[in-house]
Amino acid sequence: QVQLEESGGGLVQPGGSLRLSCAASRSIFRITDMGWYRQAPGNQRELVAIITYGGSTTYADSVKGRFTITRDNAKNTVFLQMNDLKPEDTAAYYCKVVSLSTYWGQGTQVTVSS
């Protein structure tokens, strides 16, 4: 049973944009925080951005001013708009949803390269 469905990753040139989406199953109730994390080869998984149910946001310093996280509570969906992408943004991006339990997506690859 798929709980989180991610989409939107891919290959993009430096300076380009991508938009990630993560739709949580309607069977997941009382969602509070939704967020995005990333993990590059050889590195630990790190926070990219989080958004609360009320819309408060937190960003990693490395993405401030370039990435924007939003959510649609009616559709249990969170988005990550990524602009001005850099090679160091290359990683697998994981969606995280917090309700009565914590759910992780399967990951979507973002590669920034010329």
In this predicted structure, what is the pLDDT of residue 20?
98
Q: What is the pLDDT of residues 55-64, one digit of tens each?
A: 999 999 999 9
pLDDT-derived band at 111, boundaries 50, 70, 90: very high
pLDDT-derived band at 2, boundaries 50, 70, 90: low
Q: Which two tokens stand for residue 14?
A: 């430096």
DSSP string, 24-59: EPTT--S---EEEEEE-TTS--EEEEEE-TT--EEE
Q: What is the pLDDT of residues 35-73, one digit of tens each?
A: 999 999 999 999 999 999 999 999 999 999 999 999 999
As a whole number, mean pLDDT of residues 1-11 equals 90
* CA pair distance 101, 114, nearest whole angstrom: 40
Q: First CA to last CA across the chain, in angstroms?
A: 37
Residue 37 and residue 60 in contact, taking contact as beta carbons nearer than 8 Å: no
Residue 8: count of CB within 10 angstroms of its CB: 16
* CA pair distance 51, 20, nearest whole angstrom: 14
In this predicted structure, what is the pLDDT of residue 51?
98
Whether 26 shows a pLDDT value over 90: the answer reads: no
